[in-house]
Amino acid sequence: MTIEPIREKLDDKIAKLNSSRVIKKITPRGDLSWYIKWASVFFILFPTADERWPRQGIVMKNRVFIIGNGESRKDFDLTKLREHGKIYACNAYYRDNPLPDVLIAVDSTMTHEIYHKGIAHKIPCYFREWTKCPNFMYQTMKAGFLSTQGKQKEDKFITNGDSALPIGDYFVMNAHTIQGEATIRKEDGTKYKKDVDNTHIYCSWITDGDMTQEWEDPGYHAGATAGHVACKYSELDEVYMIGMDLRSDTKYYNNIYKGTKNYSSAHFEPTPTGIWEAEWLRVFKDNPNVSFYKVNKSDDDKPTNKELLGNEKNLTYITQAQLLDRLGQK
Q: Is residue 309 part of a domain?
A: yes
Answer yes or no: do 87 and 140 share one domain: no
Q: Is residue 24 part of a domain?
A: no
Task: For residue 26, name the pLDDT band (cuts at 50, 70, 90).
Answer: low
Q: What is the pTM of this model?
A: 0.76
pLDDT of 190: 72
Answer yes or no: do 93 and 148 share one domain: no
pLDDT of 49: 42
Answer yes or no: do 89 and 236 share one domain: yes
pLDDT of 56: 38
Q: Is residue 197 part of a domain?
A: yes
Lowest mean pLDDT among 61-75, 87-101, 186-200: 186-200
In the chain, what percentage of residues exceed pLDDT 70?
73
Whether the pLDDT of residue 195 is over 90: the answer is no
pLDDT of 176: 78
Q: Is residue 3 part of a domain?
A: no
pLDDT of 279: 96
Pick from 189, 216, 243: which residue ends a domain?
216
Answer yes or no: do 166 and 247 share one domain: no
pLDDT of 183: 63
Q: Is residue 6 part of a domain?
A: no
Whether the pLDDT of residue 55 is over 50: the answer is no
Split into its structural domains, the chain has a count of 2
SS (H, E, C) the chain: CCCCCCCCCHHHHHHHHCCCCCCCCCCCCCCHHHHHHHHHHHHHHCCCCCCCCCCCCCCCCCEEEEECCCHHHCCCCHHHHHHHCEEEEEHHHHHCCCCCCEEEECCHHHHHHHHHCCHHHCCCEEECCCCCEEHHHHHHHHHHHHCCCCCCHHHHEEECCCCCCCCCCEEEEEEEEEEEEEEEECCCCCEEEEEEEEEEEEEEECCCCCCECCCCCCCCCHHHHHHHHHHHCCCCCEEEEECCCCCCCCCCCCCCCCCCCCCCCCCECCCCCHHHHHHHHHHHHHCCCCEEEEEECCCCCCHHHCCCCCCCCCEEEEEHHHHHHHCCCC
Taking residues 43-63, report their average pLDDT: 49
CB 121 within 8 A of CB 211: yes
Lowest mean pLDDT among 23-32, 201-210, 283-292: 23-32
Pick from 216, 244, 266: which residue ends a domain?
216
Answer yes or no: do 225 and 325 share one domain: yes
Answer yes or no: do 70 and 95 share one domain: yes
Q: Check residues 172 and 44 and name the one with the higher pLDDT.
A: 172
Answer yes or no: do 225 and 322 share one domain: yes
Question: What span, in angstroms and rounded, lies between the C-alpha atoms of 176 and 158?
Answer: 11
Q: Is residue 2 part of a domain?
A: no
**pLDDT 10s digits, 122-172:** 999 999 999 999 999 999 998 887 776 655 555 678 888 777 777 889 999
Answer yes or no: do 206 and 99 share one domain: no
Answer yes or no: do 210 and 228 share one domain: no
Answer yes or no: do 330 and 240 share one domain: yes
**pLDDT 10s digits, 76-132:** 999 999 999 999 999 999 999 999 999 999 999 999 999 999 999 999 999 999 999
Pick from 200, 216, 232: which residue ends a domain?
216
Taking residues 197-219, report their average pLDDT: 90
pLDDT of 78: 95
Answer yes or no: do 152 and 90 share one domain: no
CB 249 within 8 A of CB 302: yes
pLDDT of 144: 83
Please give the mean pLDDT across all residues of the chain: 82
Range of the domain at 153: 126-216
Answer yes or no: do 164 and 66 share one domain: no
Q: Is residue 210 part of a domain?
A: yes
